[in-house]
């Protein structure tokens, strides 16, 4: 069994180097097989998991860079998301350990290619470091490789890749710290103690979860090494103390000062029932096919090899220590309760859950920790070097068992909008409001799920905003937005109170100040989108700026509004008309063979036109019901009337100058019918007419 890592020089060292390069290349290849479609289009796609966090981790590294190099502030504190509260990111999954890697890569690669490349590299790092650790504990290089292959591509590891959980990509820490401590105990030099101390500090900069997991491996392994190195036990303990001092000294620089400042409020603990939902099912150990989600499984090959090792293995008593070490995290991964039929058996996880105040919520994430120890037990029990055919068979079984060549789910990242780039060029300091409004804590949320992704755009516009996701925010924060007449409605938490919401919008444009409101129609239902845009089009504190595909943009009038036009065309057959609709409209649908919109008996359109111009109004419409007439008006005054036929037809009217002083065009029908009252339809809407398009063009231009 090897006693230490060595990369000396000479023929043997050259062969050793070849071996290590081959191992690294193998893991690079297997990572390509796992990521497959992502690797083929590295710069244009991201993973597509149900709990995808690509927007969050992209924001993390943009924020660290922006805080350090542009704002020159401590990146652990920010009000750039979930404005107006100042947040302590020491309790957020910031994972700053990746920033020194992300920064230089981002100069060469774009988003999302940078994090995609890091994801690929993380598989290589985990595989290679696990190989080094297993090689230090086993007598067989092939066994070490197979074990590292199993660990690196566990279903949970692939699930973290699919969901873009970058804080979970760094599982190389787990075998890496065991390996470093083993070197401290074997070599007993200050250099290895320093490296081990830096490694422990690295856990703080990755995720606090690692600090929860590692004691279950490091403490028993550390005690074993003290027994193994009994003659030098005092020196080993002293070097361990040196490592702890180094870790604490570095932590006092970052992140401990931020941690000690605490949060601004209390975060509710999870209940046992919640933790159980994120636990490994008992079936995961019973050779039953895994059920989604993927991180609720450890695969079947590990169980089969474990059974073989127990029944047919041999070796030193040390191997049983590894079995005992592995069983504890695996038991914890079952969560707080084991249910067999109607029988509920409390499990030891409850002790950990209570000790951590209910703030650790993923028992299933203990499973890989236990599997690593089990792999050492298997390797030390089945000590013989596997023959080439058996090695090949085991590799094939890993590929099949862990579904390595399954199509990797991908999606396009959020679309780019030029308006964000223009906002980013503005020097004024203001806040962006996104609709739907979403405040996400990584656990609970206010508003729909999609709105949190607006944080992706902050790396472009550089303005403070509300929408986003920050882990472990105090419980009181969502209440602030929920109780707001405006923000709570934007989040879909309560009905609109037009007067209260309008007054609050005016106040926020003065005090925060809100500079832009970004309405994401693709994240709203058609009815929600029409309601929000219609409300904003009637507010004196904001004005319509533009519509860019499914994004409708309003700006505070304090920042200026676009010049009034002399013509406008609303094409209801395609996206782009939403920005001008105020009230009385229904979502787009196929009507009489064409895409169009039905209207209520009273509809309003925002028309940003000059008032000192005569206009010709032309529209294509059909009436619903006999004798349907339509009266055109503005500023509370009727301008002209027309009778609509029941077929598509084009109508033309004249609008005199000074008729559009309030930039609103109103169309009143002489009634509306419900389809369910006149046909066999179940449609309860009140319909007066359908419109294919409306065009208003100037006839003459008068001097301003």
pLDDT 10s digits, 568-610: 999 999 998 999 999 999 999 999 889 999 999 899 999 999 9
Q: Output the six-digit token pair for 25.
A: 């290349």
Residue 636: pLDDT band (50, 70, 90) is confident
Cis peptide before 609 (omega within 30 of 0): no
Distance CA 468, CA 39 (A): 28
Is the pLDDT assigned to residue 153 strictly greater than 90? yes
Is the pLDDT assigned to residue 293 strictly greater than 80? no
Return the percentage of the chain with pLDDT > 90, whole number: 76
Task: Determine contact, residues 172/160, Cβ cutoff 8 Å.
Answer: no
The pLDDT score that the predictor gives to residue 95 is 96
Task: Determine contact, residues 155/299, Cβ cutoff 8 Å.
Answer: yes
User: Hey, which residues does 434 pair with through a beta bridge?
Assistant: 518
Which H or E element spans position 422?
helix 418-425
Q: What CA–CA distances, in Å, run from 285 to 149, 296, 298, 303?
A: 20, 11, 8, 7
- Which is nearest to 470 in space by CA: 51, 171, 78? 78
Half-sphere exposure of 300 (CA within 13 A, CB side): 12
Distance CA 297, CA 284 (A): 5
Q: What CA–CA distances, in Å, run from 238 to 203, 232, 281?
A: 21, 10, 42
The pLDDT score that the predictor gives to residue 704 is 41
Is the pLDDT assigned to residue 702 strictly greater than 70? no
pLDDT 10s digits, 246-264: 999 999 999 999 999 987 6
In the chain, the domains with their CATH numbers are: 272-382 (no CATH), 564-704 (2.60.120.260)
Half-sphere exposure of 585 (CA within 13 A, CB side): 32
pLDDT 10s digits, 440-492: 887 778 888 889 999 999 999 999 999 999 988 888 888 899 999 999 999 99
Which parts of 268-387 are beta strand (E)?
Answer: 337-340, 343-346
- CA–CA–CA angle 42, 98, 330 (5° rounding): 95
Q: Output the six-digit token pair for 265.
A: 């409020």
207 phi-psi bin (left φ>0, alpha ψ -120 to 50, beta other): beta
Task: Determine contact, residues 698/615, Cβ cutoff 8 Å.
Answer: yes
**For the range 503-506, what are the long-range contacts, defined as Cβ-Cβ under 8 Å and sequence gap of 24 or more?**
505/539, 505/541, 505/542, 506/539, 506/540, 506/541
- CA–CA–CA angle 320, 324, 326 (5° rounding): 115
Distance CA 694, CA 620 (A): 7
636 phi-psi bin (left φ>0, alpha ψ -120 to 50, beta other): left
Query: Which of 303-312, 554-563, 660-669 is least confident?
Result: 660-669
The pLDDT score that the predictor gives to residue 9 is 56
3-class state of residue 411 by DSSP: strand
663 phi-psi bin (left φ>0, alpha ψ -120 to 50, beta other): left
Q: What is the 3-state secondary structure (H, E, C) of 88-108?
A: EHHHCCCCHHHHHHHHHHHHH
Cis peptide before 255 (omega within 30 of 0): yes
Residue tagged 């739907």 (tokens): 436
Distance CA 112, CA 198 (A): 29
- Which is nearest to 516 in space by CA: 561, 564, 470? 561
3-class state of residue 227 by DSSP: helix
Task: Determine contact, residues 338/254, Cβ cutoff 8 Å.
Answer: no
Which parts of 16-138 are beta strand (E)?
Answer: 46-47, 77-78, 87-88
Average pLDDT across the chain, whole number: 92
Residue 703: pLDDT band (50, 70, 90) is very low
3-class state of residue 246 by DSSP: helix
3-class state of residue 585 by DSSP: strand
Q: How many CB atoms lie within 10 A of CB 645?
A: 11
Return the percentage of the chain with pLDDT > 70, whole number: 96
- Return the DSSP state at 550: T
The pLDDT score that the predictor gives to residue 63 is 98
φ, ψ at 634 (rounded to 5°): -160, 145
How confident is the model over 104-118, as a mean pLDDT? 95
- Which is nearest to 409 in space by CA: 260, 316, 294? 294
Show Cβ contacts of residue 617 under 8 Å, excluding neighbours closer than 6 positions: 632, 652, 653, 654, 655, 665, 694, 695, 696
């Amino acid at each position: 069994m090897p006693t230490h890592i060595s990369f000396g020089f000479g023929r043997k060292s050259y062969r050793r180097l070849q071996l290590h390069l081959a191992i690294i290349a193998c893991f690079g290849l297997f990572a390509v097989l796992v990521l497959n479609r992502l690797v083929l289009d590295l710069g244009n796609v991201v993973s597509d998991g149900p709990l995808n966090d690509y927007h969050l981790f992209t924001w993390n590294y943009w924020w660290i860079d922006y805080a350090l190099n542009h704002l020159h502030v401590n990146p652990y504190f920010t009000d750039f998301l979930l404005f107006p509260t100042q947040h302590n990111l020491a309790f957020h999954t910031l994972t700053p350990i990746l920033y020194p890697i992300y920064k230089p890569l981002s100069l060469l690669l774009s988003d999302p290619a940078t994090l995609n490349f890091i994801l690929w590299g993380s598989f290589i790092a985990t595989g290679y470091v696990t190989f080094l650790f297993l090689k230090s504990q086993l007598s067989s290089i092939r066994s070490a490789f197979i074990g590292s292959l199993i660990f690196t591509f566990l279903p949970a590891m692939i699930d973290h890749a699919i969901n873009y959980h970058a804080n979970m990509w760094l599982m190389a820490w787990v075998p890496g710290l065991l390996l470093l401590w083993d070197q401290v105990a074997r070599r007993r030099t200050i250099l290895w103690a320093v490296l081990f101390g830096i490694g422990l500090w690295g856990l703080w900069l990755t995720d606090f979860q690692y600090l929860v997991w590692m004691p279950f491996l490091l403490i028993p392994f550390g005690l074993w090494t003290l027994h193994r190195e009994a003659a030098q036990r005092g020196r080993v303990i002293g070097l361990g103390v040196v490592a702890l001092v180094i870790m604490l000294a570095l932590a006092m620089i970052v992140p401990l000062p931020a941690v000690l400042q605490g949060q601004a409020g209390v975060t509710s603990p999870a209940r046992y029932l919640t933790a159980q939902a994120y636990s490994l099912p008992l079936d995961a150990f019973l050779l039953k096919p895994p059920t989604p989600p993927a991180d609720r499984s450890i695969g079947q090959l590990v169980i089969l090899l474990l059974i073989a090792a127990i029944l047919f293995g041999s070796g030193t008593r040390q191997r049983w220590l590894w079995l005992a070490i592995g069983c504890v995290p695996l038991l914890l991964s079952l969560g707080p309760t084991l249910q067999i039929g109607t029988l509920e058996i409390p499990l030891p996880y409850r002790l950990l859950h209570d000790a951590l105040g209910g703030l650790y919520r993923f028992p299933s994430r203990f499973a890989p920790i236990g599997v690593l120890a089990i792999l050492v037990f298997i390797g030390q029990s089945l000590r013989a070097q596997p023959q080439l055919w058996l090695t090949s068979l085991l590799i094939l079984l890993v590929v099949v068992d862990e579904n390595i060549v399954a199509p990797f789910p991908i999606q396009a990242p959020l679309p780019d909008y030029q308006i964000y780039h223009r906002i980013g060029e503005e020097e004024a300091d203001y806040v962006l409001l996104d609709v739907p409004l979403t405040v996400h804590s990584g656990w609970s949320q206010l508003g729909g799920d999609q709105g949190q992704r607006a944080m992706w755009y902050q790396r472009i516009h550089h303005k403070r905003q509300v929408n986003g996701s920050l882990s472990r925010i105090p419980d009181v924060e969502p209440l602030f937005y929920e109780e707001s007449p405006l923000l709570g409605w934007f989040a879909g938490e309560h009905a609109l109170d037009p007067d209260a919401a309008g007054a609050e919008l005016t106040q926020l444009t003065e005090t925060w100040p809100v500079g832009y409101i970004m309405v994401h129609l693709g994240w709203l239902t058609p009815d929600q989108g029409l309601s929000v845009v219609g409300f904003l089009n009637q507010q004196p504190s904001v004005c319509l700026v533009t519509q860019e595909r499914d994004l409708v943009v309003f700006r505070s009038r304090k920042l200026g509004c676009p010049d009034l036009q002399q013509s406008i065309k609303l094409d209801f057959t395609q996206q782009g008309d939403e920005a001008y609709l105020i009230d009385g409209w229904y979502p787009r649908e196929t009507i009489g063979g064409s895409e169009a919109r039905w209207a209520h008996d009273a509809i309003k359109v925002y028309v940003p036109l000059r008032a000192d111009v005569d206009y010709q109004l032309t529209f294509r419409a059909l009436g619903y019901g006999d004798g349907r007439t339509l009266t055109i008006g503005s500023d509370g005054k009727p301008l002209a009337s027309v009778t609509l036929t029941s077929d598509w037809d084009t109508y033309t009217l004249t609008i005199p100058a000074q008729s559009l002083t309030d930039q609103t065009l109103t169309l009143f029908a002489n009634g509306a019918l419900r389809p369910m009252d006149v046909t066999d339809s179940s449609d309860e809407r009140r319909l007066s007419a359908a419109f294919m398009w409306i065009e208003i063009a100037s006839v003459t231009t008068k001097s301003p």
